[in-house]
Amino acid sequence: MSFPERRMRRLRTTPVLRRLVAEHRLSVDDLVAPLFVKEGIDAPEPVASMPGVMQHTQESLRKEVRSLADLGVPGVILFGVPAQKDGRGSQADDPNGVVQVALRNLRDEVGDGLVLMADDCLDEYTDHGHCGILTESGEVDNDATLERYASIAVAQADAGAGVVAPSGMMDGQVAAIRRALDSAGHTSTAILAYAAKYASALYGPFRDAAECAPRFGDRRSYQMDAANAREAADEIALDVAEGADMVMVKPALAYLDVIAAVRAQVNVPVAAYHVSGEYAMVKAAAQLGWIDGTAVALEHLLAIKRAGADFVLTYFARDLAELLAS
């Protein structure tokens, strides 16, 4: 090789040099832990398709969140598994619903030491498993659902949520929630919009954990088609115009192009959700001894940041926080 050709390997010679020139870094500050809390159980129940993930009791949730806060994890997002489900998902906005109880407990436990987020959706609470109110013919009624999301957001904010995260992909959900929060005096409660959420086969394990698989049909009439990237730009623009404080792309790895485009499109923080199926694939292959699970998890998370995400919702939050702290 002849002068003055640049040798790319020069800056890769030592770990400390590689560290110095790294373009992106993963830190505990990037992590939000999704957590499940279930009503009517005496002990936490492991989720078979997500090794290491639990359906928590109120007590075990409290301990888990305390320990995540102590590790420096800045946020958690809560999903509830209620004891009773019905057509309108009544437990979702009941002041004594499982997530509202959890929010009050956790606010008491960690104060402002950690951002408490709540998923604002109906699928965990409806007996049919869809994310909205159904019409007589079994379709998801957009506008009837908006009223429910607005009411859920207010119940969650009343209980102590700092951030509400609508995940149902109804049109107008961010505007409806913003209006309701403001009228209830919750002007400081932020909205993290699941803005570009795709109808993905990667949500399977989550539906075990949250017990929310649709009883009939699928979610393709409200979630996005994997074929579409330009459409994500419209979803994002609408949500920001409606008042979203932060936007999310979900899932993450199969949609890195979308994350990068969204990062270039808007100035609000961009989140990505490394979803249950992405987690389960890594865990399963690692359990078989086929990959180094921790190394792959780090590579996944770094790729999501490199694509442009500011923070990542991931079931690896605890493992990675422990690793990054050591």
Distance between CA atoms of residues 57 and 304, nearest Å:
31
| Site size toward ligand PBG, by CB under 6 A | 11
The binding track of 151-180 with respect to ligand PBG, each residue x by CB under 6 A or -, is ----------------x-------------
Least distance to ligand PBG, CB of residue 36, Å: 10
Which member of 38, 250, 283, 305 is catalytic?
Answer: 250
Q: Are 117 and 161 in contact (CB under 8 A)?
A: yes
Which member of 38, 85, 197, 305 is catalytic?
Answer: 197
At residue 142, φ and ψ (nearest 5 deg) are -55, -55
For residue 36, state whether it binds ligand PBG (rule: CB under 6 A). no
For residue 276, state whether it binds ligand PBG (rule: CB under 6 A). yes
User: Segment contacting ligand PBG (CB under 6 A): 61-69, 171-179, 199-207, 240-248?
Assistant: 199-207
Distance between CA atoms of residues 218 and 129, nearest Å:
10
At residue 116, φ and ψ (nearest 5 deg) are -95, 115
The binding track of 89-128 with respect to ligand PBG, each residue x by CB under 6 A or -, is ------------------------------x-x-x-----
The binding track of 131-150 with respect to ligand PBG, each residue x by CB under 6 A or -, is x-------------------
At residue 274, φ and ψ (nearest 5 deg) are -80, 100
Least distance to ligand PBG, CB of residue 281, Å: 12
Residue nearest to ligand PBG (CB): 206
Answer yes or no: 197 catalytic. yes
Q: Given candidates 149, 203, 222, 311, which one binds ligand PBG under the rule CB under 6 A?
A: 203
Distance between CA atoms of residues 65 and 73, nearest Å:
9
Distance between CA atoms of residues 55 and 207, nearest Å:
12
Q: Amino acid letter at 40?
A: G
Distance between CA atoms of residues 124 and 81, nearest Å:
6
For residue 47, state whether it binds ligand PBG (rule: CB under 6 A). no
Closer to ligand PBG at the Cβ: 59 or 127? 127
Least distance to ligand PBG, CB of residue 238, Å: 19
Answer yes or no: 85 catalytic. no
User: Segment contacting ligand PBG (CB under 6 A): 58-66, 101-109, 202-210, 264-272?
Assistant: 202-210
Least distance to ligand PBG, CB of residue 210, Å: 7
Least distance to ligand PBG, CB of residue 1, Å: 48
One-character DSSP codes across 33-75:
EEEEEETT-SS-EE-TTSTT-EEE-HHHHHHHHHHHHHHT--E
Closer to ligand PBG at the Cβ: 178 or 219? 219
| Residue 115, beta-bridge partner list | 75
Distance between CA atoms of residues 110 and 131, nearest Å:
30
What's the gap between Cα 326 and its chain centre?
25
Q: Given candidates 36, 125, 206, 255, which one binds ligand PBG under the rule CB under 6 A?
A: 206
H helices within the chain, ranges in order? 15-20, 58-71, 98-110, 142-159, 173-183, 204-209, 230-242, 256-265, 276-287, 293-307, 317-325
Q: Rule CB under 6 A: which residues touch ligand PBG?
A: 119, 121, 123, 131, 167, 203, 206-207, 219, 275-276
Residues belonging to the active site: 197, 250
